[in-house]
């Protein structure tokens, strides 16, 4: 809890931003001790009921939804109270009331809450990771890095708000002096996905809050218990009532209500293209009582490619392609789902990649020997299995792994012979299915790399400087990685986000991000 005396000390002296240390590896002695203990601790707390959090208070609801372990669907992680439109309205009204005072709290004061929350999350990093291992089927390292990224967002946006909170002197004109400053947009709705359940939720909520916008947060229905960690953090740091509200519930029932509300000024969404486009369309309407133009901060799906040119580091490329394609079961917006291999290197690289893939073990994420775990739920399992079937029709399956009997598993699948006309080259699968495309030369590889409606991440392995430079110009994606895998963007140093149908051009963890949550004002004074 931040004390009033600490708050009143005025200037917050912050060290320069640094990224939280990423996962030290499963063989690190501390990790070896801490992870099993944290998982056992979390297992002892499973099955609790989680209320909504509105206006600084827990609010129960008659209807609950079970969140389950995708590796053992009988294991209930938590029973989460479900919001309805009446409770959602209460949360929106609480956020609207909180706006009256929160908008004028000094940026430096708002930043303090984030720094304090980052400290709490840092102390709980193993515990929070363990919840993700069980609720989301994330491997130890994937879960740890998600929490570390959430901490980075808190630390970075706090510093960004202090930077942007200072009025900007615009110079004088004649005897008039001029300056600009930012004010918050108003009430923010945050709608989050499950695949980075702490990091993305934390990033969107922290940005809105520190910029002065009270938040109504709807977590994904597959990540409601991890989503509740934000309630813990923001409550413990003493965030004023109504500034952060947690309303879990089905997106199909609550989503439109939240987006359509005339009380809402900004919607921050990360998720699939179809839901994102629906939100953008609905937010463009102006219901009675709405007094501002709604802003939508929107990050959506992808169909990312890695291009393998000649003369790359063979072993590093195999390691990085496997990690990019199959890390967290390929359920990352940044994941590589198309591997474009140049004809000249095809016969050298592809068989070696398949051999390496055969060695990857599949099973519950809590066992660190498993490289892949289950996918998030039965619906995802069914959808991915349909793509696996399609892979056999559109191309030739080079490898399809066995899967455990219990849990929402799908086989790790590598298919070759895919060309841009195929659905597997165009549609987001969001699972461990890698489509290999054989390109005759670098020109064709670049054409194919850009041949989808998405533009999120991309990668090129090459030792040709001119090809790398060409990729920088021509491979039109939000995040391009040269001679490394295309996942794992870090806050500040690698601002993340795409364009085309991957998003509206915003960069989470970058210097422009907070500006999406604020309106600029200019003051001119005649002495």
User: Dihedral sign, CA of 430, 311, 419, 448?
Assistant: positive
Residues 6+ apart with CB under 8 A from 330: 337, 429, 430, 431, 432, 433, 434
Catalytically annotated residue among 202, 205, 298, 333: 333
Among the residue ranges 216-224, 231-239, 285-293, 445-453, the one whose residues contact ligand NAP (CB under 6 A): 216-224
Region of residue 249 (phi > 0: left; psi between -120 and 50: alpha; otherwise: beta): left
Among the residue ranges 194-202, 431-439, 445-453, 480-488, the one whose residues contact ligand NAP (CB under 6 A): 194-202
Q: In angstroms, what is the minimal distance from the CB of 486 to ligand NAP?
A: 13
**CA–CA separation, 301 vs 421, rounded Å?**
19
State residue 453 phi and psi, 5-degree precision. Answer: -80, -5
Give me the 113-142 binding string for ligand NAP, x by CB under 6 A, dash otherwise: ------------------------------
Among the residue ranges 52-60, 178-186, 188-196, 358-366, the one whose residues contact ligand NAP (CB under 6 A): 188-196
Look at strands 413-416 and 168-173 and give their pairing: unpaired
Contact between 279 and ligand NAP by CB under 6 A: the answer reads: yes
Biggest CA–CA distance in the chain, Å, is 78
299 carries an active-site annotation: yes
Contact between 220 and ligand NAP by CB under 6 A: the answer reads: yes
Helices marked H in 271-377: 273-283, 314-326, 343-358
Please work out the total of residues on this chain that contact ligand NAP, with binding judged by CB under 6 A.
Answer: 35
Catalytically annotated residue among 127, 135, 149, 299: 299
Contact between 191 and ligand NAP by CB under 6 A: the answer reads: yes
Q: In angstroms, what is the minimal distance from the CB of 101 to ligand NAP?
A: 29
Asked if 247 contacts 221 with a C-beta cutoff of 8 angstroms, the reply is: no
Asked if 514 contacts 507 with a C-beta cutoff of 8 angstroms, the reply is: no
**CA–CA separation, 468 vs 459, rounded Å?**
10
Pick from 384, 385, 360, 382: nearest CA to 373: 360
Residues of span 245-274 touching ligand NAP by CB under 6 A:
250-252, 255-256, 259, 270-272
Cβ closer to ligand NAP: 302 or 435? 302
State which H helix or E strand residue 34 sits in. helix 29-43
Q: In angstroms, what is the minimal distance from the CB of 411 to ligand NAP?
A: 20
Residues of span 471-500 touching ligand NAP by CB under 6 A:
497-498
Contact between 430 and ligand NAP by CB under 6 A: the answer reads: yes
Cβ closer to ligand NAP: 312 or 430? 430
236 carries an active-site annotation: no
According to CB under 6 A, which one of 69, 88, 129, 221 is a site residue for ligand NAP?
A: 221
Region of residue 215 (phi > 0: left; psi between -120 and 50: alpha; otherwise: beta): beta
Residues in contact with ligand NAP by CB under 6 A are 191-196, 200, 218, 220-222, 250-252, 255-256, 259, 270-272, 275, 278-279, 299-302, 333, 428, 430, 456, 497-498, 502-503
Active site residues: 299, 333
């Amino acid at each position: 809890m931040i004390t009033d005396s600490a708050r009143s000390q005025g200037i917050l002296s912050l060290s320069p931003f640094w990224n939280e240390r990423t996962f030290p590896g499963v063989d690190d002695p501390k990790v070896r001790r801490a992870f099993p203990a944290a998982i056992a601790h979390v297992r002892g707390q499973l099955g609790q009921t989680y209320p909504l959090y509105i206006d600084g208070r827990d609010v129960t609801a008659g209807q609950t939804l079970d969140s389950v372990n995708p590796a053992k669907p009988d294991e209930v992680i938590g029973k989460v109270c479900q919001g309805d439109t009446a409770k959602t309205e209460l949360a929106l009204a609480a956020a609207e009331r909180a706006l009256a005072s929160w908008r004028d709290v000094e940026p430096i004061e708002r930043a303090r809450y984030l720094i304090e929350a980052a400290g709490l999350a840092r102390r709980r990093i193993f515990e929070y990771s363990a919840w993700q291992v069980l609720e989301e089927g994330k491997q130890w390292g994937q879960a740890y890095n998600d929490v570390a990224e959430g901490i980075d967002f808190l630390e970075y946006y706090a510093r960004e708000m202090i930077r942007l909170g200072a009025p900007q002197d615009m110079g004088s004109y004649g005897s008039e002096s001029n300056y600009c400053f930012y004010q918050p947009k108003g009430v923010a709705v945050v709608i989050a996905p499950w695949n980075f359940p702490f990091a993305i939720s934390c990033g969107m909520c922290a940005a809105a809050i520190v910029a002065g916008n009270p938040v109504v947060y709807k977590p994904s229905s597959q990540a409601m218990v991890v989503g509740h960690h934000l309630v813990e953090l923001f409550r413990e740091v003493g965030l004023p009532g109504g500034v952060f509200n947690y309303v879990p519930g089905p997106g199909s029932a609550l989503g439109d209500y939240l987006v359509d509300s005339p009380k809402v000024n900004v919607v921050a969404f990360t998720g699939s293209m179809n839901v994102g486009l629906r939100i953008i369309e609905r937010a463009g309407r102006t219901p009675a009582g709405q007094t501002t133009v709604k802003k939508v901060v929107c990050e959506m799906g992808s169909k990312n490619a890695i291009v393998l040119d000649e003369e790359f580091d063979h072993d590093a490329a195999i390691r990085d392609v496997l990690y990019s394609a199959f890390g967290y079961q390929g359920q990352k917006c940044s994941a590589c789902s198309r591997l474009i291999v140049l004809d000249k290197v095809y016969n050298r690289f592809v068989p070696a990649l398949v051999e390496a893939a055969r060695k990857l073990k599949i099973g519950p994420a809590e066992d660190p020997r498993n490289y892949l775990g289950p996918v998030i739920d039965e619906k995802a399992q069914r959808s991915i299995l349909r793509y696996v079937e399609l892979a056999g029709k559109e191309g030739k399956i080079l490898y399809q792994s066995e899967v455990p009997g219990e849990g929402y598993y799908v086989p790790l699948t590598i298919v070759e012979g895919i060309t841009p006309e195929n659905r597997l080259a165009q549609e987001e699968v969001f699972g461990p299915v890698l489509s290999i495309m054989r390109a005759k030369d670098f020109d064709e590889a670049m054409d194919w790399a850009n041949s989808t409606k998405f533009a999120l991440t991309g990668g090129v392995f090459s030792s040709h400087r001119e090809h790398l430079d060409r990729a920088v110009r021509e491979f039109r994606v939000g995040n391009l990685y040269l001679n490394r895998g295309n996942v794992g963007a870090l806050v500040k140093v690698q601002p993340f986000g795409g364009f085309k149908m991957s998003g509206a051009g915003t960069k989470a963890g970058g210097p422009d991000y907070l500006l999406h949550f604020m309106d600029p004002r200019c003051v001119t004074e005649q002495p």
